[in-house]
Amino acid sequence: MNQVITCILALLTALNLSGCAAVQPPVAQQVSGTMEVHFIDVGQADSELIQCGDKAMLIDGGNVADSSLVVSYLSAQKIDHLDYVVCTHAHEDHVGGLSGPLNKFKVDHVLAPVTNYDSDAFRNFAKYTAAQGLDITVPSVGDNFSLGDASVEVMGPQKLYDETNNTSIVLKVTYGETSFLFPGDAERESEQDMLDAGCDLNATVLKVGHHGSDTSTTYPFLRAVAPSYAVISVGADNSYGHPAESTLSRLRDAEVTVYRTDLQGNIVAVSNGKQISFTTQKEKDVQTNPTESKTEITYIGNINSHVFHRDTCDALPAEKNQVWFESREAAIAAGYKACTRCKP
């Protein structure tokens, strides 16, 4: 009889009605040694190497042009074998550079949210995966696996999305009492769906979604993750304006210590299971998230409505529709009218 009940319980657990594995409080595992997380500077792209004991996982590989850089970086870390290679989603700045590592190192498991995507970058990734004798595994929410003493859980994507960024595989890596969340380029829809599913998103370190774009790192998501540290993988002077000032501002409000690959190069986080220490390739003390915006622009106009606002107004236009003015006078001289809400 007891066996029947155990079976039913196991079945219910397997059905995973909440849509997320981590509804039960995470059990702090005993760890020995350290786990290293390398945020490799691949410019306007993502690539992270996680090493725990003799196990290693590579999440994304930057653009096609970063492939050999990532291979040399891994070789410098004495990597000759990757237990997991993860393509968070099919955009080139994530999957492009995975071909080199897949060609060079013995790999055990390859994860991606899709098995096909119409781009040369993805076709090459699929080709080198097949050359290893492997199939691409599409993980499900709730899947988990170990990486040495670390445990890895799949938090997203919760649904099938049309928007490729939202298809990003979202992984939480827990090591002792510390944890890292890697949301790829997941945007607000995916963030909200993980919240709605009751995922335990809380993490010590957040790899900021979508290179610090305004479309990710919403307040509710940030409150749930409640990170002490955030790392933004972003290219210097990129054409997207990443990281967005609005995202930086939310991270300031949440009192998160920010690291940035555009300013600090490669960033390495080392966890001993209780605390995390960071080392950066360059400019350790650079101001990564200054309170004042660099040029002290305080008025923001909407290029469509020709209304201007204080930068603190909650009716600011979308980033692509913004024009910034250094003074009230400059905005009026340009033919803009004051917002009736924030009364600049």
Residues in contact with Zn ion by the rule CB under 5 A: 91, 93, 165, 185
C-alpha to C-alpha distance for 344 and 339, rounded to whole angstroms: 7
Minimum distance from residue 243 beta carbon to Zn ion (Å): 12
Phi and psi at residue 79, in whole multiples of 5°? Answer: -80, 130
> In this complex, which beta carbon is closest to Zn ion, that of residue 36 or of residue 163?
163
Minimum distance from residue 229 beta carbon to Zn ion (Å): 20
> In this complex, which beta carbon is closest to Zn ion, that of residue 165 or of residue 178?
165
> In this complex, which beta carbon is closest to Zn ion, that of residue 48 or of residue 200?
48
> In this complex, which beta carbon is closest to Zn ion, that of residue 178 or of residue 216?
216
Minimum distance from residue 59 beta carbon to Zn ion (Å): 12
> In this complex, which beta carbon is closest to Zn ion, that of residue 24 or of residue 239?
239
Minimum distance from residue 165 beta carbon to Zn ion (Å): 4
SS3 173: strand
C-alpha to C-alpha distance for 32 and 53, rounded to whole angstroms: 9
Count of CA atoms in the C-beta half-sphere (13 A) of 46: 28
Would you state the structure tokens that stand for residue 97, as one six-digit string? 């550079």
* Separation of CA 165 from chain center: 11
C-alpha to C-alpha distance for 340 and 205, rounded to whole angstroms: 40
> In this complex, which beta carbon is closest to Zn ion, that of residue 41 or of residue 93?
93
> In this complex, which beta carbon is closest to Zn ion, that of residue 97 or of residue 301?
97
CA angle 179, 180, 182 (to 5 degrees): 150
Minimum distance from residue 131 beta carbon to Zn ion (Å): 25
C-alpha to C-alpha distance for 245 and 214, rounded to whole angstroms: 8
Give the end-to-end CA distance of the chain in Å, rounded to a whole number. Answer: 72
Minimum distance from residue 298 beta carbon to Zn ion (Å): 30
> In this complex, which beta carbon is closest to Zn ion, that of residue 169 or of residue 205?
169
| CA distances, 63 to each of 16, 32, 71, 313, 316 (Å) | 36, 35, 13, 37, 33
| CA distances, 110 to each of 118, 139, 249, 302 (Å) | 18, 10, 36, 45
Minimum distance from residue 184 beta carbon to Zn ion (Å): 7
Minimum distance from residue 46 beta carbon to Zn ion (Å): 6
Minimum distance from residue 93 beta carbon to Zn ion (Å): 4
**Which stretches of the chain are assigned E, i.e. beta strand?**
35-39, 48-52, 55-59, 81-86, 106-111, 136-137, 144-147, 150-156, 170-175, 178-182, 205-207, 229-232, 257-260, 267-271, 276-280, 299-302, 307-310, 322-325, 337-338
> In this complex, which beta carbon is closest to Zn ion, that of residue 42 or of residue 136?
42
Would you state the structure tokens that stand for residue 75, as one six-digit string? 């070789």
Q: Closest by alpha carbon to 203, among 279, 256, 262?
A: 256
